Structure 1
């Protein structure tokens, strides 16, 4: 052993130092990825359709999303004026939903809806409603135009 090695300890070759740094960086990267995946899995909100919820209900209190169509004739406003009860269907199954709050403007019977909330017993308690419009959306200004007129308006705005 040289005098320098006895004072500072054994020297590590630069090649080995780089290898140790690369291994430590990979371990840190994998650890951060696993931590992020664990955190996201705890916060994930799974999407269900009514037939999925009826066949395999999520655990009580777990945050989920329920998507489907609002059944015609099912919207009932309670006496408090804020709480509504309605039924979401996918044509195969029906799930009763309760929501307290202001509904979106597009929320009507027969329209698509995504309700965010949780199961309580056999009904779904929604904390938030997202109403969906149909694929044939047209701005009010263009509703009475023919397809050719609408194309001309769009071409002029470019």
Structure 2
């Protein structure tokens, strides 16, 4: 089954791929891997901002991480490689959080669970989930990815 068919089956519509906010490429393909730059969480066209442990709940943070995952898929589609995904190798989740917030892994599950929903077993991946004091544009979460691609 194609990835596009799978997305339709589970009722997911990908957002438009966001333009870079600085001097970088959203996706770089090298040696069979797609390196996806950190993606910010947009829900209904609005950037999710704030800090976990302060003014963003765990549920909102998890939804934000899921939105980052959707943007990762959107960037893969824009790069023309969504249908070539062989395996999600690694996600890196950065959570804008207070010093005493320790549920970064639960927040990151929003993106991780989405990868499994979309890609099945090929969506299971290695991951890091870290707390940071600030993210670009005040975003609550940022997620980047390394994706293995099938040959053309």
Class of the TM-score when normalised by the shorter of the 2 chains: under 0.3
Larger radius of gyration: 1
Higher relative contact order (CA 8 A, sep 6+): 2
TM-score normalised per structure 1: 0.25
TM-score normalised per structure 2: 0.25
